[in-house]
Chains A and B, each alone.
Chain A
Amino acid sequence: MEEKEIQNELASIRSLMERSSKFISLSGLSGILAGVYALIAAGLAYNIVYSGSSRVYTRINLHTDPVPLYNLIAIAAVTLLLSVVTGVILTTKKAKRKGQPVWGKISQSLLFHMATPLVTGGIVILIFLFRGYYGIVGPTSLIFYGLSLVSASNFTFTMVKYLGICEIILGLIAACLPGYGLLFWAIGFGVLHIVYGSMMYLKYDR
């Protein structure tokens, strides 16, 4: 067998293995957009929290400083919704372009493995919010999100695993620095998404 033929055979073996077990239609562009939405949201939140005061960004204590909590929750929810919708739309388009099924065994496994840590994290955060522990929201959301990405990465691009690990580390650092939650959110959901989204876009979307 010629070397070229061998390489081709190995390439097709690898391709079959990947196509049958990984969801390759995930859109990197949606990651970039999610990061942009997050940064805009962080900017809005910053204005809300610090409007009217002449202070530069400092630590905030949610128990003593007046913070319009519901506005912040609304901003977070809208950002999340926009990111998810964008992700679904762009991923579906990419799947159609590649002739890959959007909904199947693989994407179902992907969603389940992503949803488990996310839902758990969401419930835990809500429980702690109702008990008055506001400070943990930032760090734990980053950590649970990172865990869900690491888990989901088994069913899609390996790069997602590294994004997940970065989010976990960021969340742990954020846990050591209470009061800077917004800053870490901006980095974790904003900057990191733009970075990884770009890497995925350049490598896989074209």
Chain B
Amino acid sequence: MSVLMVNDRYDFNSLKELLNTTDGNLASHLKGLEKEEYIIVHKTFLGRKPNTTYESTERGKKAFKQHLDALEQLIKQQKSS
């Protein structure tokens, strides 16, 4: 989600390289995000090669921001205790 917050679209292979993970691992995480409707999937073709790109949804962006806010809250709590 971090990557999709700062890039309009990101393709599967670049994600794989960036996150240094396997096809299967990445695919299952992406499926999970898609199920929550945090990302949408664009399946296109480059010539004859399939090219899948991902884009975060408004819902996904909102959820991510909430996640960051929650983390921030936790830090504040830790600091004051």
Proximity bits, A86-120, B CB within 8 Å = 1, else 0: 00000000000000010011000000000000000
Give B18's nearest chain A residue, CB to CB: A20
Q: Which residues of A contact B19 (CB under 8 A)?
A: 16
- Chain A's interface size range is 10 to 19
Q: Which residues of A contact B46 (CB under 8 A)?
A: none
Interface stretch (choices A2-10, A54-62, A122-130): A2-10
The residue from B10, B68, B78, B79 contacting A20, defined by CB atoms under 8 A apart: B10
The residue from A2, A14, A19 contacting B18, defined by CB atoms under 8 A apart: A19
Interface residues of chain A: helix, strand, loop or mixed (majority): helix
Q: Which residues of A contact B71 (CB under 8 A)?
A: 1, 6, 9-10
Provided the pairs A20-B18, A105-B14 are in contact, do residues A6 and B75 lie with their beta carbons within 8 angstroms? yes
Q: Given the complex of chains A and B, what is the CA–CA distance between A113 and B74 in angstroms?
A: 40
Query: Is there an interface contact between B5 and A17, defined as CB atoms closer than 8 Å?
Result: yes
Q: Given the complex of chains A and B, what is the CA–CA distance between A9 and B79 in angstroms?
A: 17
Give A3's nearest chain B residue, CB to CB: B78
Q: Which residues of A contact B78 (CB under 8 A)?
A: 2-3, 6
Q: Which residues of A contact B3 (CB under 8 A)?
A: 16-17, 20
Q: Which residues of B contact A13 (CB under 8 A)?
A: 2, 68
Provided the pairs A21-B7, A105-B14 are in contact, do residues A16 and B2 lie with their beta carbons within 8 angstroms? yes
Proximity bits, B26-52, A CB within 8 Å = 1, else 0: 000000000000000000000000000
Query: Is there an interface contact between A20 and B7, defined as CB atoms closer than 8 Å?
Result: yes
Q: Which residues of B contact A3 (CB under 8 A)?
A: 74-75, 78-79
Q: Which residues of B contact A2 (CB under 8 A)?
A: 78
Give A12's nearest chain B residue, CB to CB: B2
Proximity bits, B1-17, A CB within 8 Å = 1, else 0: 01101110010001001
Q: Which residues of A contact B7 (CB under 8 A)?
A: 20-21
Provided the pairs A16-B18, A105-B14 are in contact, do residues A21 and B6 lie with their beta carbons within 8 angstroms? yes
Query: Is there an interface contact between B2 and A17, defined as CB atoms closer than 8 Å?
Result: yes
Give min CB distance, A26 to chain B, whole Å: 18
Task: Give chain A interface residues in 1-56, CB to chain B under 8 Å.
Answer: 1-3, 6-7, 9-10, 12-14, 16-17, 19-21
Give min CB distance, A90 to chain B, whole Å: 23
User: Which residues in B have some Cβ–Cβ distance to A below 8 Å?
Assistant: 2-3, 5-7, 10, 14, 17-19, 68, 71, 74-75, 78-79
The 3 closest A-B pairs by CB, nearest first: A16-B2, A20-B3, A3-B78
If A10-B68, A17-B2, A19-B18 are given as contacts, then 10 extra A-B residue pairs at C-beta distance below 8 Å, sorted by A number, are A2-B78, A3-B78, A12-B2, A13-B2, A16-B19, A17-B6, A20-B2, A20-B6, A20-B14, A104-B14
Q: Jot down 5 A-B pairs with beta carbons below 8 A, ordered by A.
A: A3-B79, A6-B71, A10-B68, A13-B2, A17-B3
